[in-house]
Amino acid sequence: MNFMNKSNPIGVFDSGIGGLTVVKQLKQFLPKENIVYFGDTARVPYGTKSNSTVIEYAIQDARFLINKNVKLIVVACNTASSVALDVLREKFGVPIIGMITPGANLALEKTKNNRIGVIGTEATISNAAYSKELLKLNDKVKVYEKACPLFVPLAEEGWLEHKATKLIAKEYLSELKEKNIDTLILGCTHYPLLKNVIGEVMGEGVELIDSGTAAAIVVEDYLRAKSLLNDSSVEGNDLFFVSDMPGKFKFIAERFLGKKLPNIRKIDLDEELSFKN
Ligand code: DGL
């Protein structure tokens, strides 16, 4: 299998629908790239599961994408990026880009007072993925982390500006506000959807970091450095695969990406993997 080919797609996986926030950024920075997306909607959420389960799922997700001849994999899910990246890199030859290092680097670029907040799922926060990376890159920073698990269902429900969302955001974020942070990493695929509410609660002095944007820039730099940018003259073609509920995925995805998505297919991951391997 040759994944070092310019016209091959970029593979993106997430536990479900949230990784579309990363796809949106990739489309903005790299409109000519073809994308193959896998959303594990049958097994979402990953953020409340054990590390070993998330690693097992992530290996299967990556294998599915590799079978589609992707030239690079973006682990859009912050939870999977937190616990599975090293294993994936050891196991597979294809380049793999996660959310944590790009998000941490961008936050370090932006902070002026070296006080950084991180919000994410229970798994991302309990693994201290961002704080370990931030402190590895700069041991002068102070990092304050907070799990905000209810943000995921609120975003899925489309309650992006709802008063319940504002109330919950105030509750979750009040302790971070007291820490005088000037930068807050949105360390979960879904949180950029709640950017307005989170920004309102945190106030103007706090810069919000979207790890998806940071990762898209890293992907572009990587592909350019390796001469793997797609030089097609037309816009890329995207394929979406999900493990359950393609109709719901289509509805939310079309609303979110602002265009019709004819290429959404439900697959049985076990079947796909046993057939190929
Ligand atoms: N995609 C997950 C993340 O970014 C959020 C949803 C889940 O818990 O699976 O951490």
Distance 99 CA to ligand 1 centre (A): 12
The verdict on residue 134 lying in a domain is yes
Residue list, ligand 1 pocket, CB within 6 Å: 14-15, 18, 44-47, 77-79, 121, 124, 152, 188-190
pTM: 0.95
Tens-digit pLDDT profile for residues 129-166: 999 999 999 999 999 999 999 999 999 888 999 999 99
Residues 259 and 203 in one domain: no
Residues 104 and 69 in one domain: no
Number of domains in the chain: 2
Distance 51 CA to ligand 1 centre (A): 13
Residues 116 and 194 in one domain: yes
The verdict on residue 2 lying in a domain is no
Query: Residue 187 sits in a domain of what CATH number?
Result: 3.40.50.1860
Tens-digit pLDDT profile for residues 103-124: 999 999 999 999 999 999 999 9
Tens-digit pLDDT profile for residues 223-263: 999 999 999 999 999 999 999 999 989 988 888 888 898 88
Question: What is the three-state SS of the chain?
Answer: CCCCCCCCCEEEEECCCCCHHHHHHHHHHCCCCCEEEEECCCCCCCCCCCHHHHHHHHHHHHHHHHCCCCCEEEECCHHHHHHHHHHHHHHCCCCEECCHHHHHHHHHHHCCCCEEEEEECHHHHHCCHHHHHHHHHCCCCEEEEEECCCHHHHHHCCCCCCHHHHHHHHHHHHHHHCCCCCEEEEECCCHHHHHHHHHHHHCCCCEEEEHHHHHHHHHHHHHHHCCCCCCCCCCCCEEEEECCCHHHHHHHHHHHHCCCCCCEEECCHHHHHHHHC
Q: Which domain holds residue 155?
A: 100-211
What pLDDT band is residue 275 in, cutting at 50, 70 and 90? low
